[in-house]
Amino acid sequence: MKNKKSSYDKLFIFIAVILLSLNIVIGVILITVSSAVYKSTKLDELQSIGDLFISCMQDNYLVTRDTRSETTKNLHKKFSSKYHLMIYIYDENGNCVLSDADYREDPKKVIKNSSKMTVAEVEKLSKKDFLDIESSNISASEPYMLYGTCFFLSGENDLVPSRMFAKIYAKSNDINSFSVKIAVFYTLFCALSLAVQLLLIKRRFNRLSAYENEFRRISEMYAKRDFSEQIPTDVPYTSPEIADYVNAVAADVAKSEETSKTFIANVSHELRTPITTIGGFVDGILDGTIPKTRQNEYLVLVSKEIKRLRILISSMLNMSRFETGTLRPNFRDVNLTEIVIQTVLMFEKKIEDKNLEVEGLGSERMSAEVDPDLIQQVVYNLVENAVKFINTGGTLSFRFERSINGICTIGIKNTGEGLKNDEISQVFDRFYKTDSSRGKDTTGLGLGLAISRKIVHLHHGHIVVKSVYGEYTEFLIQIPEKQPKKKG
């Protein structure tokens, strides 16, 4: 059988998509947060360097009182070169008073409109510092970090400090490079991690898929009435209870199949024998083979065979009624001892033929609320069984007991071969006949004890068997003295 795509294969695809999506989301968040933190750190560094330069410039102005003095230019050049900055200083009117135009490393790298600030820029920096990525005045493809601020210069004798503006630019390549490195590192890490995770999950799911396919294959065998294999129950990471349950059900079905085959064979044999006998006798009477002087003798035999057929069909119908729940017992107070005595009398001839000793029928009378017809059928089946399998000259014993909690017990015991332990557990099964009985019982179908148990259960009671192989067999009927009242 070709293995079908199992549910674990579909589950693996689902988990793979979930893990991949989760890693992508986490990666985007991680890269975004890391880049933002790194950007914030670099901007803070730029602000610190810018504030340091402004502080040094303010100290230098106290001495030189000139924003374009050589000392100030050297300070400007030193900071620009050391920290790779482009520093522009503007007066309060927005005119550039100090820049790196004279010693710029890259003459082509010019800040647009760097010679003068717009009125809007002046007003903006007067109110609030600017610290962010700037691309509009340089290049959109190569943005710079910009720190813009307002500060004041004053000499020793200045009554009013001069308001100044600073715009300090720094390359943002490190930020972009950091984001790329984080993205590459996380992608490689996630790819490796995801591959390992999926490999481990796939290996586990392959085992489970193989088990599921095996489960399906054997289940399909069960559906085709082939019970030659059992579902494995020792596979790791599976639920053995389910396999045990299915195996148990399959075993029960297999047992029922075997029992049914035996039943059909028995029924076929039992029906064929009386029908053949009846047909032969009737044909013999009709064609004159059987003389008229012996016709009555053969008609008696025909009558017995017809009764046998009637009992057989009645037993099968009763079993069907029990199983469908259509049989309703008619409970009333009945003398159980009398029922047993009347039933035993039906076997008087067989008891005499086997020279049996009967004990216990003189016990005190015991009554209970039962359906007399059904209970008599139970007693009949048990007595018939006892007489059939008792040893010649053996003892057939009866006992009647009533417990303090109102349970009536009828015991029917016979000496003889008895039952084996494995037979005791199956004796009440439908169509079951012990190996020893197959040679002795040529008329039974194995329905009597099964029907008896059904009847006793209808009386809210129990029927049990006790036996010592080679010594005796005893059946105990236990039913309540009063039937429980129906609710509602």
- Tokens of residue 270, six digits: 């039992």
pLDDT band at 105; cut points 50, 70, 90: low
73 and 131, same structural domain?
A: yes
336 and 297, same structural domain?
A: no
4 closest CA partner among 210, 231, 219, 242: 210
CA-CA-CA-CA torsion for 275, 277, 282, 288, nearest 10 degrees?
150
Name the domain boundary from 158, 179, 200: 179
pLDDT band at 474; cut points 50, 70, 90: very high
438 in any annotated domain: yes
* H-run or E-run covering 51: helix 7-64
Q: Give the highest mean pLDDT range of 127-131, 278-282, 366-370.
A: 366-370
Asked whether the predicted pLDDT for residue 436 surpasses 50, the reply is: no
Asked whether the predicted pLDDT for residue 240 surpasses 60, the reply is: yes
214 closest CA partner among 185, 190, 175, 246: 246
Residues pairing with 477 in the sheet: 410, 463
364 and 444, same structural domain?
A: yes
423 and 312, same structural domain?
A: no
Q: Which long-range contacts (CB under 8 A, 24 or more apart) does 300-305 make?
A: 301/277, 302/277, 302/278, 305/274, 305/277, 305/278
Asked whether the predicted pLDDT for residue 269 surpasses 90, the reply is: no
What are the pLDDT digits (tens) for 439-453?
A: 445 445 467 788 888
pLDDT score recorded for residue 109: 57
350 and 311, same structural domain?
A: no
87 closest CA partner among 78, 99, 95: 99
Q: Please answer whether residues 63 and 97 qualify as being in contact, where contact means their C-beta atoms are separated by less than 8 angstroms.
A: no
| Whole-angstrom distance, CA of residue 444 vs CA of residue 441 | 6
- Helices 173-223 and 7-64: crossing angle in degrees, nearest 10, is 170
415 and 273, same structural domain?
A: no
- Tokens of residue 482, six digits: 């009063």
Instruction: Classify each residue of 451-472 as buried b or exposed e, where b means 16 or more C-beta atoms within 10 Å of its C-beta.
Output: bbbbbbebbebebebebeeeeb
What letter would DSSP give residue 57? H
- Tokens of residue 199, six digits: 């490999």
Number of domains in the chain: 3
466 and 419, same structural domain?
A: yes
pLDDT score recorded for residue 8: 72
pLDDT band at 250; cut points 50, 70, 90: confident
Query: In whole angstroms, how far apart are CA 258 and each of 255, 261, 319, 476?
Result: 5, 5, 18, 29
What are the pLDDT digits (tens) for 66-98?
A: 888 888 888 888 998 888 888 899 988 889 888
- In degrees and rounded to multiples of 5, residue 88 shows phi and psi of -120, 130
347 and 310, same structural domain?
A: no
Across the chain, what does the average pLDDT equal?
81
413 in any annotated domain: yes
Asked whether the predicted pLDDT for residue 155 surpasses 50, the reply is: yes
pLDDT score recorded for residue 386: 92
Pair type for strands 407-415 and 395-402: antiparallel
232 in any annotated domain: no
Residue matched to tokens 């630019």: 169
Q: Cβ neighbours of residue 58 under 8 Å, at least 6 residues apart?
A: 151, 152, 153
Range of the domain at 470: 332-480
Name the domain boundary from 179, 198, 229: 179
401 and 266, same structural domain?
A: no
221 in any annotated domain: no
219 in any annotated domain: no
Asked whether the predicted pLDDT for residue 421 surpasses 90, the reply is: no
Asked whether the predicted pLDDT for residue 31 surpasses 90, the reply is: no
pLDDT score recorded for residue 442: 45
105 and 18, same structural domain?
A: yes
90 in any annotated domain: yes
206 in any annotated domain: no
User: Which pTM was predicted?
Assistant: 0.45
- The full 3-state SS of 176-222, as one line of letters, equals HHHHHHHHHHHHHHHHHHHHHHHHHHHHHHHHHHHHHHHHHHHHHHH
More confident residue, 338 or 235: 338
Name the domain boundary from 289, 307, 324: 324
Asked whether the predicted pLDDT for residue 175 surpasses 90, the reply is: no
- Tokens of residue 400, six digits: 């009647």
Query: Which residue type sits at 473?
Result: T
Q: Strand, helix or coil at 420?
A: coil
338 in any annotated domain: yes
166 and 20, same structural domain?
A: yes
What CATH number did the domain enclosing 355 receive?
3.30.565.10
94 and 147, same structural domain?
A: yes
385 closest CA partner among 468, 446, 305: 446
Q: Please answer whether residues 64 and 155 qualify as being in contact, where contact means their C-beta atoms are separated by less than 8 angstroms.
A: no
What CATH number did the domain enclosing 158 receive?
3.30.450.20
pLDDT band at 180; cut points 50, 70, 90: confident
What CATH number did the domain enclosing 315 receive?
1.10.287.130
A 10 A CB-CB count for 196 gives 10
- The full 3-state SS of 334-370, as one line of letters, equals EEHHHHHHHHHHCCHHHHHHCCCEEECCCCCCCEEEE
| Whole-angstrom distance, CA of residue 359 vs CA of residue 479 | 22
308 closest CA partner among 443, 474, 165, 205: 443
Q: What is the phi-psi region of residue 416: left when phi exceeds 0, alpha when psi lies from -120 to 50, beta otherwise?
A: left
What are the pLDDT digits (tens) for 283-320?
A: 888 888 888 888 888 888 888 778 767 767 776 676 66
What are the pLDDT digits (tens) for 193-238?
A: 888 888 888 887 777 777 777 777 777 776 777 767 776 666 655 5
Residues pairing with 133 in the sheet: 145
Question: Considering the chain, what percentage of its residues have pLDDT values greater than 90?
Answer: 20
